[in-house]
Chains A and B, each alone.
Chain A
């Protein structure tokens, strides 16, 4: 399993229980289409792209995505979620070559 740099950002930084917050998830990934030729070798670079992203909030999948190669390199996905108690938001993402990774952030409503 290759470790990929990924980041989850929640906006606003401070939020109350019940508030709807913005969640940005981003990952460093080449998102190869399988159609691009390597400039040096002239060979087609094999396809390799994020194909699935799942958002798990306290053990419940609140959002899942199928993703294809038309999404930009180093992809960013923005969703919203309703804060419903303290806990953990875990994002599990896989790519078309079978790489599986996860990233998570603590959900800590104020008050």
Chain B
């Protein structure tokens, strides 16, 4: 039954895309009304929860700064550069992996990367960098160069039953066309890197960028790449870099 559902979904997606120009779109006034909801974002509560979790399991901002070997006043700018290569990990990592290691260092069992509590914690940690500009450096070292290259490859690679890639919906030539009332966003202009984790209204929950990627893969009938894997972190590096220089504003609010 599940596979039938997937086929249906895939066909629906495909037909929607091919007829996109004939579909009606949401008006700008409507969109502005939804944008206004950012004013009272339910995810503010989840960020608050994440703050409490970080203080309980990771020694709060100070504990995090110490763990990352930066002073507390440099912490926001440092966080604005994630995912980044950390010598302690010997690889490029996202904030979720940092939070896990921090929890373990503090003698706690780490939350799974897919645990909603982990999403809350990641959202809080990233919100420490609010108003900072994204300063990811994809040329900082060979590891970052490799992560970026892997991310780009993963983004462009056609996979799964319908041969779709991330690029199928987010390349420059389809950006702005309407898929089921919603315009396909340019991930850079849209500041994806600065607005995830975000509250998803369709799910009534907070989600991270990597978790959102998983949703995309699922809808596109691709095998879902695990959170925290090199490909997933690479994707986050690649997409975050598109919004380099844009201000971080966590939590975001998405449809």
Contacts and interface: CB of A to CB of B under 8 A. Distances in A.
A–B direct contact (CB < 8 Å): yes
Interface of A: 5-7, 9, 11, 24, 26-28, 72-74, 76, 78
Given A5-B48, A7-B48, A24 B42 contact: no
A5 B49 contact: yes
A2 B45 CA distance: 16
Contacts of B46: 5, 28
A27 B48 CA distance: 12
A74 B42 contact: yes
A31 to B, nearest CB: 9
B204 A9 contact: no
Interface string B18-39: 0000000000000000000101
Interface residues of B, number: 10
B4 interface: no
Interface of B: 37, 39-40, 42, 44-46, 48-49, 204
A9 B42 contact: no
Contact of B45 (A28, A73, A78): A28
A5 B40 contact: no
Contact of A26 (B44, B49, B204): B44
Nearest to A6: B45
Contacts of B40: 9, 24, 26, 76, 78
Contacts of B39: 11, 24
Contacts, number: 30
Query: Which 4 pairs between the two chains have the least Cβ-Cβ distance?
Result: A24-B40, A73-B204, A74-B42, A5-B45
A9 B47 CA distance: 14
A76 B39 CA distance: 11
A74 B204 contact: yes
Contacts of A7: 44-45, 48
A74 B45 contact: yes
A65 B39 CA distance: 21
A6 B37 CA distance: 17
Nearest to A72: B204
Contacts of B42: 26, 28, 74, 76
Nearest to A76: B40
A74 B204 CA distance: 7
B45 A9 contact: no
A94 B20 CA distance: 45
Contacts of B37: 76
A70 B97 CA distance: 38
A95 to B, nearest CB: 16
B199 to A, nearest CB: 8
